Structure 1
């Protein structure tokens, strides 16, 4: 199990995927997580998620992708979201990460930042990667702040890359190098 100060990253269970049914069908939560892919991500039946669990989790090749459930630490752990690494390139020693806190009761309180730091520590120390990157849409300032708290810097902007809520919005590309994270993590 991968642990942070506030969270544990656990293997994803079928019950976790079933719990995501309400998150994915909540328009605000789904829009923040999926951006312009909202039409594919949301309004899905429970059977779809159960089938996706079999395809995406049970057949997962951890050399290419790792997906975890985010749980609060403590006596009454609660499942609050998902986090993953993907697009692993072992030659360049880099990957892409993604995170979603589905339970709105845990938004804006540092749970996502703690989960992201725990995953980053894992990919840098255990997998010996040296670069992590991510992409988000410009209409998600809470996510951008959380990523910056973890040491990510904005490396680029894809202008009018996504179509969300009837308008084109920029996508923000952010990156983090191992040495920068370790310096931030020590301090």
Structure 2
């Protein structure tokens, strides 16, 4: 499956992406705001095993984020913890190639995957958490239409201290209304 925009192409992930994921997992600047699974070093074998099973999880959709110009894998994103009963899920993104940071790619990918969640998966709500100490991510989510819902105080532990996480979400009705008004 491919979703293509001016800047990025989203595609399925597979075991051939292991080298990029391993390199990203070894760079603490890349993983500092990521899931806890990146808090500890992972072997190339662990990453390959994870990638070989990633597309078989009904509660998660994951896409490789590639540069449209070069086709190079620069990150991944998707929706996890999908509840078919509640029609909701949790958005995630990692731009692993630092040379693509600050170019609006996070906002663009967030918009494309959010639209996919609502208009293909039929979700009603997509939520996320972002470290309060990561203003670039928060700005990207705001630019993509996510609204602040609150703060989870001291819910993350990074660099030897507890830090707050900002809770954000967007609802299908708000998303479709915003598309109509554009």
- TM exceeding 0.5: yes
1:145-156 equivalences under 5 Å are 145-156=139-150
Unaligned stretches of 5+ in structure 2? none
Contact kept in structure 1, 2:25 and 2:38, CA below 8 Å: no
Distance 1:138 1:38 in 2: 19
Distance 1:183 1:4 in 2: 21
Distance 2:20 2:172 in 1: 33
Contact kept in structure 2, 1:4 and 1:117, CA below 8 Å: no
3-state DSSP of counterpart to 1:159: strand
| 2:117 maps to which of 123, 142, 152 | 123
CA apart distance, 1:37: 5.2
1:84 has 2:78 as partner: yes
Name the structure 2 match of 1:71. Answer: 66
1:4 has 2:5 as partner: yes
CA apart distance, 1:137: 1.4
Name the structure 1 match of 2:18. Answer: 17
Measured on the aligned residues, the alpha-carbon RMSD in Å equals 1.6
Aligned residues, how many?
Answer: 180
- Structure 1 residues 99-139: Cα deviation after superposition (integer angstroms, max 9, x where no partner): 00000000011111111111111111111112100112111
Distance 2:101 2:75 in 1: 10
| 2:54 maps to which of 50, 53, 57 | 57
Distance 1:37 1:138 in 2: 19
Name the structure 2 match of 1:143. Answer: 137
Contact kept in structure 2, 1:150 and 1:181, CA below 8 Å: no
- Structure 1 residues 140-181: Cα deviation after superposition (integer angstroms, max 9, x where no partner): 111110000001111011111111112111111110011222
Distance 2:51 2:38 in 1: 19
3-state DSSP of counterpart to 1:5: coil
Distance 1:183 1:73 in 2: 29
CA apart distance, 1:32: 2.4
Deviation above 4 Å: which 4+ runs of structure 1? none
Name the structure 1 match of 2:39. Answer: 39
3-state DSSP of counterpart to 1:64: coil
Higher RCO (C-alpha 8 Å, min separation 6):
1
Q: What is the TM-score when the length of structure 2 is the normalising length?
A: 0.91
